[in-house]
Amino acid sequence: MKYMTEFRDGKIAGKIARAINSESNKKIRIMEFCGGHTISLLKYGIQDLLPDNIEMVSGPGCPVCVTSKAEIDAAIELSENPDVILASFGDMIRVPGASMSLRQSKAKGSDIRIVYSPDDAVKIAGDNPDKKIVFFAVGFETTAPVTASSVKLAESMNLKNYFVLSAHKTTPGILSALLAEEVRLDGFICPGHVTAITGTAMYKPLTDAGKPCVVSGFEPLDILSSILLVVRQVETGIAKTEISYSRVVAPSGNLRAQQIMNEVFSPTDAVWRGIGVIPDNGLKADGDYKRFNACAEFDIEIETDEKETKGCICDKILRGLNKPTDCKLFNSACTPEDPIGACMVSDEGTCSIYYRFGRKGKTVA
C-alpha cells in the first residue's frame, strides 16, 4: 500500500470487520489510548462495524486534555509578567484554568503569541532580546524531542532569554496508572506516533499483566487490523505487543529523538488532569540545560491539588470510566465553541470528537 486512500478501502474494511465478527466471542473492552484513534473510530463509523461484544473505551491520550489546571494557571501567571512573552500552541489558549484561560489573559493585555513549533518561540526570543520568552510545552514523546531540540537551538544561538514551561508528560507512567483503575480493560490500541519515538518496551507492564497491546496507525484499516489483532490475542489467551503500523514504527523507536530528550530533560512528577500526580512522569529541562527551565527561572511551583469544574466529568472520561454522553453538560452548556472542560477544547478531546461525529458508543459490561 502506497497511498492514503488505500488505507480507507471499504472492501478491505468489510473483510477485516467480518473477520473480527467471526473470531470474537468474548465480551471485551479495548482502550484506544490516543484521540487520533478515537477520531477514526467515530468519523469512519468503525464502531458500527464491530460486534456488540466489543466496546471501545477512549483513553487519556489527548495532550491538551490532560494538561492540568495548575499548569495552565502557571502559564497564565507568567503571561501576566510584563517582562514575559508567552508562546503557546493554539489549542492550549482556550483550555480553562482554575479561573480563566490564556485567551482571556491575552484579552486582558498579556503578550501571548501562538506558535506552530517551539523553534518559532526561539525566533521570537532572538527578535526580542529585552524580553523573556517562555514556551508553554505540552504533549507526549511525540512533541518532547522537538522542545528539546529548540532548547539546543537556543543554546547554539547563545540566547539567554528563552525558557520552557514544561507540561510534557511521558507515556509509561500513565499506562501503569491505567492498570490500577477500577475500569476493566482487556487490551490496548497503542499510539503509533508515540511508539515511533519510544519503541515498544514500555508496553511490557501491560503485557505482563495479561493485556494485549497493538501499536496502531490512524487510518481506518490500521484501526480495524489492530482491533482484529487484539481480538485474536484475547481469544487465545495471549498477551504480547504487536505492531500493526510497521511502515512507521520500529521496536526500538527513534534512538536520536530519545537521545536528545535524555540530554535536555530529566524526569519529574507530573500532574495529569483528572488523574492526579504520577511520579517521574513529566519532563523538566535539567543538568546542563537547567537554565532553560521556566519554573526555576521564575520560581514557580505547580500545584498538585485541583478539582474539575462543577458538573464536568472530564476526570472520569480521561480514565475510561465514562463517555461524553454520560455528562449532563454535553451538547448543552458545553460545546466546542464554548467549552467547559478540557475534553471539549482540543480536536483530539473525547468530548469534542463525540460532539462532532455524534455517536453514542456502546457498553458491553
96 or 145: CB nearest ligand SF4: 96
Q: Is 62 in the site for ligand SF4 (CB under 6 A)?
A: no
Q: What is the rounded distance in angstroms from the CA atom of residue 191 to the CA atom of residue 111?
A: 35
Q: Tell me whether strands 265-272 and 84-88 are parallel, antiparallel or unpaired.
A: unpaired
Q: Are 141 and 198 in contact (CB under 8 A)?
A: yes
Q: Which 269-298 positions form the footprint of ligand SF4 (CB under 6 A)?
A: none
- Closest approach, Cβ 349 to ligand SF4, in A, equals 7
DSSP character at residue 56: E
Q: What is the rounded distance in angstroms from the CA atom of residue 251 to the CA atom of residue 16?
A: 25
Angle at 300 between CA 116 and CA 175, to 5 degrees: 65
Q: What is the rounded distance in angstroms from the CA atom of residue 97 to the CA atom of residue 229?
A: 40
Q: Is 343 in the site for ligand SF4 (CB under 6 A)?
A: yes
- Closest approach, Cβ 175 to ligand SF4, in A, equals 23
Q: Is 95 in the site for ligand SF4 (CB under 6 A)?
A: no
Q: What is the number of residues in the chain?
A: 365
Quote the cell numbers at residue 319: 480514565
214 or 353: CB nearest ligand SF4: 353
DSSP character at residue 164: E
Stretch in the footprint of ligand SF4 (CB under 6 A) among 104-112, 189-197, 261-269, 339-347: 339-347
113 or 316: CB nearest ligand SF4: 316
Q: Is 66 in the site for ligand SF4 (CB under 6 A)?
A: no
79 or 352: CB nearest ligand SF4: 352
How many residues form the binding site for ligand SF4 (CB under 6 A)? 14
Q: Is 85 in the site for ligand SF4 (CB under 6 A)?
A: no
Of the candidate residues 36, 344, 346, 348, the single one contacting ligand SF4 (CB under 6 A): 344
Sign of torsion, CA 139 141 145 151?
positive
Measured from the Cβ of residue 208, the count of other Cβ atoms closer than 10 Å reads 10
Of the candidate residues 76, 167, 329, 353, the single one contacting ligand SF4 (CB under 6 A): 329
Task: List contacts with ligand SF4 (CB under 6 A).
Answer: 312-314, 317, 324, 327, 329-330, 334, 340-341, 343-344, 351
